[in-house]
Chain A
Amino acid sequence: DAGVIQSPRHEVTEMGQEVTLRCKPISGHNSLFWYRQTMMRGLELLIYFNNNVPIDDSGMPEDRFSAKMPNASFSTLKIQPSEPRDSAVYFCASSTPSGGAYQETQYFGPGTRLLVL
Protein backbone atom coordinates (compact mmCIF):
# COMPACT_ATOMS: atom_id res chain seq x y z
CA ASP A 1 0.00 0.00 0.00
CA ALA A 2 1.28 3.48 -0.87
CA GLY A 3 0.10 5.01 2.40
CA VAL A 4 -1.43 8.46 2.68
CA ILE A 5 -0.24 10.67 -0.17
CA GLN A 6 0.06 14.42 0.17
CA SER A 7 1.00 17.06 -2.37
CA PRO A 8 2.84 19.25 -2.70
CA ARG A 9 5.53 18.30 -0.17
CA HIS A 10 6.78 21.86 0.00
CA GLU A 11 5.04 25.11 -0.84
CA VAL A 12 6.42 28.63 -0.71
CA THR A 13 4.01 31.44 -1.47
CA GLU A 14 3.52 35.11 -0.85
CA MET A 15 1.06 36.61 1.57
CA GLY A 16 -2.37 37.02 0.01
CA GLN A 17 -2.04 34.13 -2.41
CA GLU A 18 -4.34 31.11 -2.45
CA VAL A 19 -2.84 27.81 -1.32
CA THR A 20 -4.34 24.38 -1.98
CA LEU A 21 -3.05 21.27 -0.22
CA ARG A 22 -4.05 17.84 -1.44
CA CYS A 23 -4.48 14.46 0.20
CA LYS A 24 -5.19 10.95 -1.01
CA PRO A 25 -6.15 8.64 1.87
CA ILE A 26 -5.34 4.96 2.07
CA SER A 27 -7.77 2.95 -0.05
CA GLY A 28 -10.64 1.62 2.04
CA HIS A 29 -10.26 4.20 4.79
CA ASN A 30 -13.42 6.21 5.33
CA SER A 31 -12.20 8.73 7.88
CA LEU A 32 -9.87 11.58 6.92
CA PHE A 33 -8.23 14.12 9.20
CA TRP A 34 -6.31 17.35 8.61
CA TYR A 35 -3.78 18.44 11.25
CA ARG A 36 -1.42 21.40 11.48
CA GLN A 37 1.96 21.30 13.26
CA THR A 38 3.83 24.36 14.52
CA MET A 39 6.52 24.80 17.14
CA MET A 40 4.28 27.00 19.25
CA ARG A 41 1.05 24.99 19.16
CA GLY A 42 2.21 21.47 18.37
CA LEU A 43 -0.11 19.14 16.45
CA GLU A 44 -3.66 20.49 16.16
CA LEU A 45 -6.70 18.89 14.58
CA LEU A 46 -8.24 21.21 12.00
CA ILE A 47 -11.12 19.18 10.57
CA TYR A 48 -12.17 15.60 9.95
CA PHE A 49 -14.47 13.77 7.58
CA ASN A 50 -16.36 10.50 7.84
CA ASN A 51 -17.62 9.01 4.59
CA ASN A 52 -16.73 12.28 2.80
CA VAL A 53 -18.90 14.35 5.17
CA PRO A 54 -17.27 17.00 7.41
CA ILE A 55 -17.98 16.08 11.02
CA ASP A 56 -16.07 18.60 13.10
CA ASP A 57 -14.42 21.75 11.74
CA SER A 58 -14.10 23.53 15.08
CA GLY A 59 -10.31 23.45 14.75
CA MET A 60 -10.28 25.45 11.54
CA PRO A 61 -8.65 28.71 12.61
CA GLU A 62 -10.51 31.18 10.42
CA ASP A 63 -12.85 31.56 7.49
CA ARG A 64 -9.77 31.79 5.31
CA PHE A 65 -9.45 28.00 5.73
CA SER A 66 -11.75 25.59 3.95
CA ALA A 67 -11.66 21.85 3.32
CA LYS A 68 -13.50 19.56 0.95
CA MET A 69 -13.73 15.87 0.29
CA PRO A 70 -15.50 15.40 -3.05
CA ASN A 71 -14.96 11.62 -3.04
CA ALA A 72 -13.49 8.83 -0.94
CA SER A 73 -10.03 9.14 -2.47
CA PHE A 74 -9.36 12.86 -2.44
CA SER A 75 -9.45 15.85 -0.10
CA THR A 76 -8.23 19.43 -0.28
CA LEU A 77 -7.38 22.05 2.30
CA LYS A 78 -7.47 25.57 0.94
CA ILE A 79 -6.19 28.79 2.48
CA GLN A 80 -7.37 32.01 0.85
CA PRO A 81 -5.84 34.50 1.36
CA SER A 82 -2.72 33.08 3.00
CA GLU A 83 -0.85 34.89 5.77
CA PRO A 84 2.66 34.42 7.24
CA ARG A 85 1.18 32.95 10.44
CA ASP A 86 -0.23 30.08 8.37
CA SER A 87 3.32 28.81 7.89
CA ALA A 88 3.36 25.29 9.30
CA VAL A 89 3.47 21.62 8.35
CA TYR A 90 0.04 20.33 7.38
CA PHE A 91 -0.64 16.62 7.80
CA CYS A 92 -3.41 14.49 6.44
CA ALA A 93 -4.29 11.21 8.16
CA SER A 94 -6.80 8.47 7.45
CA SER A 95 -8.30 5.53 9.31
CA THR A 96 -10.55 2.56 8.70
CA PRO A 97 -14.19 2.56 9.76
CA SER A 98 -14.60 2.40 13.51
CA GLY A 99 -16.44 -0.81 14.38
CA GLY A 100 -17.45 0.34 17.83
CA ALA A 101 -16.57 2.62 20.67
CA TYR A 102 -12.85 2.74 20.04
CA GLN A 103 -10.85 4.77 17.59
CA GLU A 104 -9.03 2.98 14.82
CA THR A 105 -5.39 3.72 14.04
CA GLN A 106 -4.79 6.95 12.18
CA TYR A 107 -2.09 6.75 9.51
CA PHE A 108 -0.34 10.00 8.71
CA GLY A 109 0.98 11.25 5.41
CA PRO A 110 4.44 12.85 5.03
CA GLY A 111 3.01 16.36 5.35
CA THR A 112 3.14 19.56 3.33
CA ARG A 113 5.59 22.15 4.59
CA LEU A 114 4.05 25.57 3.89
CA LEU A 115 5.96 28.83 4.06
CA VAL A 116 4.06 32.07 3.52
CA LEU A 117 6.32 35.06 2.95
Chain B
Amino acid sequence: GENVEQHPSTLSVQEGDSAVIKCTYSDSASNYFPWYKQELGKGPQLIIDIRSNVGEKKDQRIAVTLNKTAKHFSLHITETQPEDSAVYFCAASEGGADGLTFGKGTHLIIQP
Protein backbone atom coordinates (compact mmCIF):
# COMPACT_ATOMS: atom_id res chain seq x y z
CA GLY B 1 0.00 0.00 0.00
CA GLU B 2 0.87 3.68 -0.15
CA ASN B 3 3.19 5.25 2.42
CA VAL B 4 3.48 9.04 2.81
CA GLU B 5 6.32 10.63 4.74
CA GLN B 6 6.06 14.28 5.80
CA HIS B 7 8.74 16.68 7.10
CA PRO B 8 9.27 18.57 9.28
CA SER B 9 6.94 17.62 12.12
CA THR B 10 7.19 21.15 13.53
CA LEU B 11 8.07 24.35 11.68
CA SER B 12 8.42 27.77 13.28
CA VAL B 13 8.79 30.84 11.05
CA GLN B 14 8.65 34.58 11.52
CA GLU B 15 5.53 36.34 10.34
CA GLY B 16 6.04 37.44 6.76
CA ASP B 17 8.59 34.73 5.97
CA SER B 18 7.95 31.69 3.78
CA ALA B 19 7.23 28.16 4.96
CA VAL B 20 7.94 24.94 3.07
CA ILE B 21 6.63 21.49 3.97
CA LYS B 22 7.78 18.42 2.09
CA CYS B 23 6.24 14.99 1.48
CA THR B 24 7.35 11.84 -0.26
CA TYR B 25 5.16 8.96 -1.41
CA SER B 26 5.94 5.36 -2.27
CA ASP B 27 3.27 4.24 -4.76
CA SER B 28 4.01 5.36 -8.31
CA ALA B 29 0.33 4.79 -9.15
CA SER B 30 -0.72 7.70 -6.93
CA ASN B 31 -1.95 10.61 -9.02
CA TYR B 32 -3.74 12.98 -6.66
CA PHE B 33 -2.03 14.96 -3.89
CA PRO B 34 -4.11 17.22 -1.63
CA TRP B 35 -2.99 19.39 1.27
CA TYR B 36 -5.22 19.90 4.28
CA LYS B 37 -5.11 22.44 7.09
CA GLN B 38 -6.45 21.43 10.49
CA GLU B 39 -7.15 23.91 13.25
CA LEU B 40 -7.62 22.86 16.84
CA GLY B 41 -10.88 21.02 17.41
CA LYS B 42 -11.87 21.04 13.73
CA GLY B 43 -11.81 18.67 10.80
CA PRO B 44 -9.17 18.89 8.05
CA GLN B 45 -9.94 21.49 5.39
CA LEU B 46 -8.56 21.30 1.86
CA ILE B 47 -6.33 24.24 1.00
CA ILE B 48 -4.87 23.14 -2.33
CA ASP B 49 -4.43 19.99 -4.37
CA ILE B 50 -2.48 18.88 -7.42
CA ARG B 51 -2.99 16.12 -9.93
CA SER B 52 -0.16 14.21 -11.55
CA ASN B 53 -0.67 15.80 -14.96
CA VAL B 54 0.79 19.12 -13.73
CA GLY B 55 4.00 20.02 -11.92
CA GLU B 56 2.93 23.13 -10.06
CA LYS B 57 -0.21 24.88 -8.90
CA LYS B 58 -0.63 28.22 -7.17
CA ASP B 59 -3.45 29.90 -5.29
CA GLN B 60 -2.57 33.34 -3.94
CA ARG B 61 0.02 32.80 -1.16
CA ILE B 62 -0.09 29.01 -1.42
CA ALA B 63 1.65 26.84 -4.02
CA VAL B 64 2.28 23.15 -4.43
CA THR B 65 4.96 21.49 -6.55
CA LEU B 66 5.09 17.87 -7.67
CA ASN B 67 8.07 15.83 -8.83
CA LYS B 68 6.72 12.52 -10.10
CA THR B 69 10.13 11.10 -10.89
CA ALA B 70 11.38 11.62 -7.37
CA LYS B 71 7.94 10.95 -5.88
CA HIS B 72 7.83 14.01 -3.75
CA PHE B 73 5.64 17.09 -3.46
CA SER B 74 5.88 20.26 -1.43
CA LEU B 75 3.67 22.98 0.00
CA HIS B 76 4.91 26.55 -0.12
CA ILE B 77 3.29 29.35 1.88
CA THR B 78 4.60 32.87 1.27
CA GLU B 79 4.12 36.01 3.38
CA THR B 80 2.97 33.94 6.34
CA GLN B 81 0.36 35.39 8.67
CA PRO B 82 -0.71 34.48 12.23
CA GLU B 83 -3.84 32.76 10.90
CA ASP B 84 -1.62 30.33 9.00
CA SER B 85 -0.70 28.69 12.32
CA ALA B 86 -2.22 25.18 12.24
CA VAL B 87 -1.37 21.55 11.50
CA TYR B 88 -0.90 20.80 7.79
CA PHE B 89 -1.30 17.34 6.29
CA CYS B 90 -0.26 16.07 2.90
CA ALA B 91 -1.98 13.07 1.37
CA ALA B 92 -1.86 10.84 -1.68
CA SER B 93 -4.40 8.80 -3.58
CA GLU B 94 -4.50 6.53 -6.61
CA GLY B 95 -7.49 8.45 -7.81
CA GLY B 96 -10.91 7.34 -8.87
CA ALA B 97 -12.98 7.17 -5.69
CA ASP B 98 -10.15 5.92 -3.49
CA GLY B 99 -9.33 6.83 0.09
CA LEU B 100 -6.45 9.10 1.07
CA THR B 101 -3.18 8.10 2.73
CA PHE B 102 -2.02 10.93 4.97
CA GLY B 103 1.36 12.08 6.18
CA LYS B 104 1.83 12.52 9.93
CA GLY B 105 1.34 16.28 9.81
CA THR B 106 3.39 19.45 10.31
CA HIS B 107 2.65 21.86 13.14
CA LEU B 108 3.28 25.28 11.62
CA ILE B 109 3.89 28.08 14.12
CA ILE B 110 3.96 31.69 12.94
CA GLN B 111 6.00 33.83 15.31
CA PRO B 112 4.84 37.48 15.54
Q: Roughly how many angstroms separate A59 CA and B89 CA in the complex, as a whole number?
A: 19
**A43 touches which one: B51, B89, B96, B97 (CB < 8 A)?**
B89
User: B43 touching A109 by the CB < 8 A rule?
Assistant: yes
User: B31 touching A102 by the CB < 8 A rule?
Assistant: yes
Q: From known contacts A43-B89, A45-B99, A45-B101, infer whether A105 and B42 are also in contact, taking CB-CB under 8 Å.
A: no
B45 contacts A by Cβ under 8 Å: yes
User: A103 touching B95 by the CB < 8 A rule?
Assistant: yes
Q: Roughly how many angstroms separate A2 CA and B46 CA in the complex, as a whole number?
A: 16
Cβ of A7 to closest chain B Cβ, rounded Å: 14
Q: When each residue 22-64 of chain A gets 1 if its CB lies under 8 Å from chain B and 0 otherwise, what string results? A: 0000000001010000000011110010100001100100000
B74 contacts A by Cβ under 8 Å: no
B44 contacts A by Cβ under 8 Å: yes
Main DSSP-derived SS at the B contact region: loop
Q: Roughly how many angstroms separate A33 CA and B99 CA in the complex, as a whole number?
A: 7
B68 contacts A by Cβ under 8 Å: no
Give 19 A-B contacts (CB < 8 Å), ordered by A residue: A42-B103, A42-B104, A43-B105, A45-B99, A55-B97, A56-B98, A56-B99, A95-B97, A97-B97, A102-B31, A102-B32, A102-B51, A103-B31, A103-B97, A103-B98, A107-B46, A108-B45, A110-B43, A111-B43
Give me the interface of A with B, judged by CB distance under 8 Å.
4, 31, 33, 42-45, 48, 50, 55-56, 59, 91, 93, 95, 97-98, 101-111
Considering the complex of A and B, which 9 residue pairs feature the smallest CB-CB distances, nearest first? A108-B43, A45-B99, A103-B32, A43-B102, A103-B93, A31-B97, A42-B104, A98-B97, A102-B95
